[in-house]
Amino acid sequence: MAAVDLFYPPKQAPGHKTAKSARLGLNLRTKATRLVGPDLGTHELFNIPKNCFINEIHLYVSGAVAGAITGTVGDGGAVDRFMDNTITALGTTGWKSSRGDAQPGSQGYLYTAKDTIDLVIGGTPTAGTIDAWVSYQHDWDELDLAP
């Protein structure tokens, strides 16, 4: 599975010019590729650019992950920066939010260097379906968009 790049939307449209009057504080949201019957190990969900603020991460477990499993959401600096095993609860269907956790980045985190946000699955998963979303903001000065 390839991680999803986080962009300011006009960068995804070739030839589209972005005015410097772009709205500051625009909260963007994007979805990662669906994980079906997830494998054990690290799944890179999102490629994070430098100076990107992560507001919140959501997981939706539509098919409970079977087997003796653990799951965390984090990055290269901390595997559970956003969500620990208690909050991800991959064996139970439903929505899970980083805001419901007390991890260091669960209430928001600013990346000062490029990184990836990863879902790490441990144990012996045998089935399941997981979707992930991220809510984020770019540092407009970094993108040369600030007025």
Contact 38, 107 (CB under 8 A): no
- Answer yes or no: is 55 within a domain: yes
- Answer yes or no: is 7 within a domain: no
Q: How far apart are CA 77 and CA 51, in angstroms?
A: 16
CATH number of the domain within which 126 lies? 2.60.120
- More confident of the two residues 98 and 3: 98
The answer, yes or no, to whether residue 26 has pLDDT greater than 70, is no
Count of structural domains, the chain = 1
What separation in angstroms does the CA of 73 have from each of 13, 23, 42, 84, 145?
30, 30, 10, 7, 30
- Answer yes or no: is 145 within a domain: no
- Answer yes or no: is 82 within a domain: yes
pTM, whole model, 2 decimals?
Answer: 0.81
Express each pLDDT in 42-99 by its tens digit: 999 999 988 889 999 999 999 888 888 899 999 999 999 999 999 999 999 999 999 9
Which domain, by its residues, includes 103? 28-138
- Answer yes or no: is 76 within a domain: yes
Q: How confident is the model at residue 23 (pLDDT cuts 50, 70, 90)?
A: very low
